[in-house]
Every structure is written in C-alpha cells, then in structure tokens.
Amino acid sequence: MRLILMGTGPFAVPSFDALRAAGHEIALVVTKPEPQVRSRKGPPPAPVRQWATENDLPVFDPVSINESDAISHITSLRADLLVVCDYGHILVSGALAAAPLGGINLHGSLLPAYRGAAPVQRALLSGDRVTGVTVIHMTPKLDGGPILASVETPIRDDETAGELETRLSELGVAITLRSVEMLAQWDRQSEIGEPQDPAKVSKAPRLNKAEANIDWTRTAREIDCLVRGMQPWPVAFTHVATHPDKPPVRLAILEVEAVEADTSGLQPGQILGDGNFSVAVGDGAIAVKRLCPAGKREMGGEEFLRGHQLGRGTPLS
C-alpha cells in the first residue's frame, strides 16, 4: 500500500518503522513543525522527524494539516491510506478524504476509554490495573471512529507512564500492521470495524503542572499512582521547609511505597520522623524512596533526611 504517515512523538515510531520494513511505500511523513526556541540546546527531540530523516523519507511539516494548501499537497500524492499516531492535530473531513481509504489511528488506550492527548497517563492516575492500545478507522470526531483492532495488557505495579508508553508503542505494532491489511481488503462500501459504545467514553486531557502537586490526604495507592503517572512529565512534587529562615524546598517525588507505621497524632502530609522519609497519608503512611530537590541531584529519601533536621510532624505541602 502507498501510505502517508502522520506523527510527531515517540509512540508512533515502532509502528511506522514496522510499516516501512513490511514493504509498504511511504509517500510522505507528516509531522509538526519544529518550535522556534532560543535555548542553546536547540528544539526539543522530534522522534518521528528524526526517524524519517534517518530513513531518507520526505518530511512535510505544515502549521496546520487542515489548511487547503496542505490538504491539496497530500491529496496530490495519491496515497491509499493515512496512518496517524501521536501527531498532535485533529484531522478534519477534508484532510481524511485526501486518501481513498481515509485514515487509521493508533491510540494508547482501550477506546472508548481515555479519548484525548494523555491516555497512558490518565489510566495510571485513575489507578487502572489494565490498559492497552486501539486502532480506529478515523472520523473527524476525536478518537471516535470504529474500532478495527485492540489489545490489552496489565499495568505493572512499579511502571511509570513513560515506561508504560514505551511498552504500549511496541504492543501497537502488530495491530497497526493488521489494520492496514484489513483496509487493503476493504470494499470501501460495507461497514468496517466496531462502533464505540458512547456510554463507556471517558476523556484524557493533557496534564498540567498543578495536577502534580501531591495531596497527602489521598490514599497511599492514589499517591503512588500519581507519582508514577506524572513521570517523565511534569513529575509529582511537594514542598518542605528545611530552615525557618529560608523558603520551602521543592521536592520532585520519584518513587514511593506504602508502609505500615505509627501515624498516631499526625495529620496527612506530616513526616513520621522514624529515620525513613515516611509520611502520613489518608489511609496510613508511605515511604519516599527517591526524590530530587530543586537544583540538586536525585537521591534516596533517607539520604535527604540525613542532611536536614526534619522531626516528627514536619509538614509537607
């Protein structure tokens, strides 16, 4: 099949590379334009752009794929199918019509759950035990098209959003290849795929930094899910006053573990002062296993406590 691939982030790369390796003709790779930055480090990584360049594939990066000029360009290439993953733009009907078979999209959840930009993170934040990936035949409605294929997987107890996203991107390869073959055999008239159940729809909006501020009144499991779900960005955090004459220190919290401990007389968010970095929470206590103070290196919770006089009852906020 002659394909146009549309993607930006790392989630798309394994499936795109598998399509190339399977012998499909890649007419074009569409990705978001590189942002203008003044940092010496240059623009942030663009995995799909890098992959396309390494494989000598043509790259097209319009500000909007839905503008008439962009639609005309991709239509002129006479591709059979659009394959979209981790792109960052919603395609209007005119863009989807640029290929006779329309478009398919690989999404990082078991649709119709977690439609939107952050499905992997939202599954973790919700405390789900199982997630997966889904390929849909696209419509202009966000993540709303009929389901062509899906596969589920358990979420590991120690898995961060970044680790889970990497694993899901690999899990999506087989169903992406299978869905492309399904479209290749489609008569373009009969219904294809299974409609999504509107009663099971949930949303997965982008994360924001404020959500990463730990609410210590929540349960140990909820806080653990928050810590894992907020990695690699924006990273769960809290503040602690280490000296009466200095502003509170921001602590990025990287790993926690539920523990059995005496929390009598303590409110959620207060340190136990037991030699470990243990904190009272809504249903008991957790130990902070790894953290990173602002402007410092990553360290263990116990190491941080050894460098500061934080007794029982010291509050985190």
pLDDT tens for the chain, 317 residues: list them: 999 999 999 999 999 999 999 999 999 999 999 887 656 666 667 999 999 999 999 999 999 999 999 999 999 999 999 999 999 999 999 999 999 999 999 999 999 999 999 999 999 999 999 999 999 999 988 889 999 999 999 999 999 999 999 999 999 999 999 999 999 999 999 999 999 999 999 999 999 999 999 999 999 999 999 999 999 999 999 999 998 888 999 999 999 999 999 999 999 999 998 888 999 999 999 999 999 999 999 999 999 998 888 899 999 99
pLDDT at 43: 61
Residue 19's pLDDT is 98
Quickly count: other Cβ atoms within 10 Å of residue 239's Cβ. 16
Domain extents in the chain:
2-200, 209-306
- 124 is annotated as contributing to ligand binding: no
Give the helix/strand (H/E) hosting 147. Answer: strand 147-154
The rounded distance, in Å, linking the Cα atoms of 162 and 149 is: 23
Say what the pLDDT of residue 201 is.
97
Task: Classify residue 248 as exposed, middle or buried by CB count within 10 Å of its CB (0-12, 13-18, 19+).
Answer: middle
For residues 260 and 178, what is the distance between their CA atoms, to the nearest angstrom? Answer: 48
Which CATH topology does 209-306 take?
Methionyl-tRNA Fmet Formyltransferase; Chain A, domain 2 (3.10.25)
CATH superfamily of this structure's domain 2-200: Formyl transferase, N-terminal domain (3.40.50.170)
DSSP designation for 115: B
DSSP string for 249-270: EEEEEEEEEEE----TT--TTB
Cα distances from 231 to residues 92, 234, 237, 254, 298, in angstroms, run: 32, 6, 11, 8, 14
Does 111 show up as a binding residue in the annotation? yes
C-alpha torsion angle, residues 211, 157, 279, 263 (rounded to 10): 130
Any idea what the Cα angle at residue 154 is, between residues 192 and 12, rounded to 5°?
Answer: 55
Residue 248 token pair = 């509170």
Query: How far lies 253's CA from each of 158, 185, 239, 315, in Å?
Result: 14, 50, 10, 15
- Residue 110 annotated as part of some ligand binding site: yes
Q: What pLDDT shows up at residue 309?
A: 82
How high is the pLDDT of residue 225?
98
Pull the structure tokens for residue 232.
Answer: 């690699």
Q: Is 112 annotated as a binding residue?
A: yes
pLDDT of res. 249: 96
What's the pLDDT score for residue 40?
A: 64
Q: What pLDDT is stored for residue 245 in this prediction?
A: 87
